[in-house]
Every structure is written in structure tokens, then in C-alpha cells.
Amino acid sequence: MTEALIGHIEWAASNAHTWGFILIFILMAIESSVIPLPSEVVMIPAGFLAYRNELTLGDPVMDFAVAVLCGMTGSLAGAYVNYSVSLFVGRPFILRYGKYFFIKPAAFSRAEAIFLEYGDISTFVGRLVPVIRHLISIPAGISRMPLFRFSFYTLVGAGIWSSILLWIGYYLGTLSENMTYAELVYKGEEILKENYIWIFLGLAALIVVYGVIHHYIMKGKAQGAK
């Protein structure tokens, strides 16, 4: 899949100064839907281009920040499609016909199990887990998760993931400005795999903090209701 997209990403990069942010939004919306488009192929080159002043604003810091925003909102737009369709068609339809829409039964079952186990916060956690990332919004829609909470957790998770990929691309830009886009993507994926343990440890720490805060908030509400 990645190899097939390299040529298209090279074309997109050649037009990044004009269409960069729009392309990031559209491609991340596609990635967040059921279509299997790797976010690494989009956001790592975007970080590289930001370092080289080749995105729309021509300023590395501003380009990085706006690229994160486009990645977040694009991911949310794609997630809304999954959420809305799933809410409308329901679980039986997904199980029966999902395979015709790039939804592998095993991957869906895994995403559903994570959602049922961890609840709302799984829409945040899922954004940092391969394969689950673009499917976690489906069980959220089927379960009719409140839209505000769904949007909040999706945006936070997508923001962290987009920032990680952009930083990898930016970092690669500091090492060499002569990489081909194929080298850039593959090297970026290699860095990501090597450091996944740190990503998951950081994720675990965030979940613990969330759990503690949530516990004390609910405890305070319970005491206030007495």
C-alpha cells in the first residue's frame, strides 16, 4: 500500500506550497475513514516539508502548527463519517457487509472489544494504535456515544498522533534534505516502530492520570449529591 502511494505523495509534495494544508486535511480524512490510507505517508512528508519551508506559510513553526490542526480536523471529519454511517446502519450491517467496505471482521472485532472494555476513552487510545485507528469510531457510532465526547477524544488522539508523525518528518529534515520520498517514509516508519514502546508508555501514563482525575471528579459529584 505504501509503495503504491509514494508517487502520488511526490506529486502532492510538488504542490505543497499551494495546496499543502488542504491536501493534509483531505488525506487525513480519508485515512480516518474505512479506506486504508496510512497516515505515515501523509504526515511524515508534511513534517519534512515544514522543516524545508516548503509548506504554504513558509515558516517551520507556523507550518508545523497548522499541519497539526489540519491533521486533527481531517481525522475528525473522517471519523464523523464512520460514526454517522455506523449509527445509521447498525452492527448487523457492519458484520455482514463491512468486508465489502475495507472493514476486516477481525479488525472490527478487535476495535469493538477495545471500545466495550474501555468505553469512551478508547476513541482516544485507538487513535494511537495501528489498524484500530480508523475503525474505533465505528463501535462508537453503533453505541451512540455522545457526539461531544466522541469529538473531544478523537481530536486529542488525532492531535497527538499527527504531532508525532510530523516531528519524525521534521527530525529527518534536520538530518538530510536530499532524501527521496520513499526513503523519507520508510525511514520514518522505522523510527516509529523503534519508539513505539515509548509512545505506549506515554499513553499508559495519560490513561492513569485520566483515571485518577475522573475518579476524584466522580467522587466529588457523589459527595455533593448526598
Supply the mean pLDDT for the chain: 81
Kindly list the distances between the CA atom of residue 19 and the CA atoms of 14, 76, 91, 174, in Å, as whole numbers in the listed order. 9, 20, 38, 23
**Structure confidence by residue, pLDDT tens digits, 180-200:** 777 777 788 888 888 777 766
Identify the pLDDT of residue 218: 46
- Model confidence at 217, pLDDT cuts 50, 70, 90, reads low
Angle at 143 between CA 141 and CA 149, to 5 degrees: 70
CB-based contact 9:181 (threshold 8 Å):
yes
Neighbours of 97 (CB within 10 A): 11
The average pLDDT across 157-169 equals 91
Q: Give the pLDDT confidence score for residue 163 in this predicted structure.
A: 92
The stretch 84-106 carries a mean pLDDT of 86
What residues contact 21, with CB distance under 8 A and at least 6 apart?
55, 56, 66, 67, 70
CA distances (Å), origin 222, targets 121, 211, 216: 21, 16, 10
Structure confidence by residue, pLDDT tens digits, 130-150: 778 888 899 999 999 999 999
Mean pLDDT over 94-100 rounds to 84
With 0.85 as the threshold, say if the pTM is over it: no
| Across 5-32, average pLDDT | 75
| pLDDT score, position 20 | 78
